[in-house]
Amino acid sequence: MITLDKIRAARILLVDDSADNITLLSETLKLRGYTQVSFTNDSSQVCKLHAQNDYDLILLDMHMPGLNGLEVMKQLKDVEKHATLPVLAITGDQRYKLAALGAGARDFIVKPYDLAELDMRMRNTIEARLSYKAMAEQSRLLEEKALHDSLTGLPNRRLLADRIETAMQYARRHHQMVAIMYMDLDGFKQVNDQHGHAYGDSLLKEIAVRLRSVARQEDTVARIGGDEFIMVLAEIVRVEDILRPATKILGLLEEPLVIGDVSVKVSGSIGISFYPKDAEDAEALIARADGALYCAKHAGKNRYQFAGHPAFDDTRAYATANMGLQ
């Protein structure tokens, strides 16, 4: 619900080449409780100001030197972030009413106007604008929720696939690689069984924080279910570029975590695959990393394993053997 307080706090821009008109209207709006009123007498600045401030209402005089109101609205459409222009057109010429509405104005008022009528038209225009913004924000939040894990806030599998595809496209253009690190926690089930799911959830949230601390800006950390996480490392030039983050992650995963008065400790196993060496699409890359993870766990856990090389007990040897691989 859009309350009167929200309407009075809306961002308003007055556009008029007459200083007297601006002064009179500014004072009138302030007396009626509007708290965020700004103005300009230069119609060429309206688009720039709206792009910066995203006004909830623009009171636009249609008869301005330089750019007239119709020309201003044409430019506003290029910077408007929402469905309709928040313009209340002010004109002294009845013939401009239809032209103003056709150009995108939400409403209009004809001079000389009654202040009570102006206030009502302003309120209606602002209320429509704020309602649309609220619905757009709600839609954004729902989309955000659909793309992120509700417990950790990390991207989920749906968003992960998109991030992998983006990283692969960049790698193709720049002749680089993408690494997929598929991780799960060794001993997580025991934490849940011994201390309860609340402790397990706290542990997963802390693991998410630790993984984020390792990721670079171009990387993605996702939770794909249970105690399974995937990190996408973009812009990889050599296989050995993975050694440092993989080793650091293993160290972070096995650091004890105090939850309440209980200290819990797990470790992690990691399977690693590379684009384009191991696969050339997201699902196949994940599957190859998952297979490597299986090998890491069966080789003793608390280690990382490269896809396609289950025989390597020391995965550093594999990385060393493949240094310089493009």
Q: Give a yes or no: residue 151 inside a domain.
A: no
Question: Considering 143, 169, 191, which residue would you say is the last residue of a domain?
Answer: 143
Q: What is the pLDDT of residue 303?
A: 95
Order the strands of the 87-91 sheet from edge to edge: 36-40, 11-15, 57-61, 87-91, 107-110
**Residues tagged active-site:** 227
For 296, the domain range is 157-321
Q: What is the pLDDT of residue 322?
A: 47
pLDDT in tens, 31-90: 999 999 999 999 999 999 999 999 999 999 998 888 899 999 999 998 888 778 999 999
pLDDT in tens, 9-35: 999 999 999 999 999 999 999 999 999
Report whether 160 contacts 230 (CB < 8 A). yes
Structure token digits, residue 147: 């793309």
Q: State how far the Cα of 167 lies from the Cα of 206, in Å rounded to an integer.
A: 26
Give the model's confidence band at 325: pLDDT under 50 very low, under 70 low, under 90 confident, else very high: very low
pLDDT exceeds 80 at position 1: no
Examine the domain organization and report whether 181 and 134 are in the same domain: no
Examine the domain organization and report whether 98 and 242 are in the same domain: no
Read off the pTM: 0.64
pLDDT in tens, 140-171: 888 878 899 999 999 999 999 999 999 999 99
Examine the domain organization and report whether 131 and 231 are in the same domain: no
Instruction: Report how far apart the first and last C-alpha atoms of the chain are (Å, whole number).
Output: 57
Q: What is the pLDDT of residue 66?
A: 84
Examine the domain organization and report whether 237 and 178 are in the same domain: yes
Mean pLDDT of the chain: 89
Report whether 214 contacts 161 (CB < 8 A). no
Report whether 231 contacts 207 (CB < 8 A). no
Report whether 67 contacts 44 (CB < 8 A). yes
Structure token digits, residue 190: 């025991």
What's the length of the chain? Answer: 326
Mean pLDDT of 212-221: 94
Q: Give a yes or no: residue 112 inside a domain.
A: yes
